[in-house]
Amino acid sequence: MTALAHERPETMPEIRTESVSPAENGPELDEVLWQAWKAMELPEGYRAEIIEGAIEVSPTARRSHGLITNRVRRALDRFLDGGEYACHQDVNVIYKRKAWIPDAFVAPEDTEQCGDEDDLGVTAESVCLIVEVVSPGSRNRDRDRVRKRREYARAGIPVYVLIDDFDDQGSVTLFTGPRPDKADWDDIHRVLYGTEVTIPEGPAKGFVIGVAITGPRRG
């Protein structure tokens, strides 16, 4: 499989969502969502994020999703061992009045200096790499492929990795060069499962995502 560099994959289109466009959000709406999110009490097994002007509630992941996520975490922990950075899970990433819970992300191991003003998570500016594993269902796929892709670009996250069991025979897409003003990325590099992807920068530079993490190509 030849890597498709500098392309926006046709399998990841711009999809119109029900969320309010960030351009239409005023500080009042952002603050209302923020206060509502902080006050939420969810049943066990659910989580809530603020994504593009909406609070999105989703259940914890199914087995196959958790399998890949945990492979990523363990591999990143081994790769980063002995340094100042670590792989984190189940922690809020805060950007202005947005809140996300990535499947995995790289930030300083000691997050005490990275906390937001309310101590609800770590600030987006302290995050070097985010990994999302796509969940089944059209809205879940849209969230990771489109809405979170734009949000992470707006926040200036240096590297975003999307592992997608539901794209063709399984794919890994590497986003680098965030453009906050465009909510887009300068470089989008997509390969099918079976082709290795190497993180090009940051504390995880040289980390390889391949079949040991994704499993073989589907089908």
Per residue in 180-204, pLDDT (tens digit) is: 999 999 999 999 999 999 999 999 9
> Is 12 domain-assigned?
no
> Is 39 domain-assigned?
no
> Is 57 domain-assigned?
no
> Is 43 domain-assigned?
no
> Is 158 domain-assigned?
yes
Any residues with CB less than 8 A from the CB of 52 and at least 6 apart, and which?
17, 19, 20, 21, 22, 147, 150, 151
> Is 99 domain-assigned?
yes
> Is 47 domain-assigned?
no
Q: How many domains does the chain have?
A: 1
CATH number (domain holding residue 109): 3.90.1570.10
What residues make up the domain containing 193? 62-214
Per-residue pLDDT, 29: 87
Per residue in 14-71, pLDDT (tens digit) is: 323 333 444 455 678 899 999 999 999 999 889 999 999 999 998 877 777 889 999 9
Mean local confidence (pLDDT), 110-139: 93
> Is 82 domain-assigned?
yes
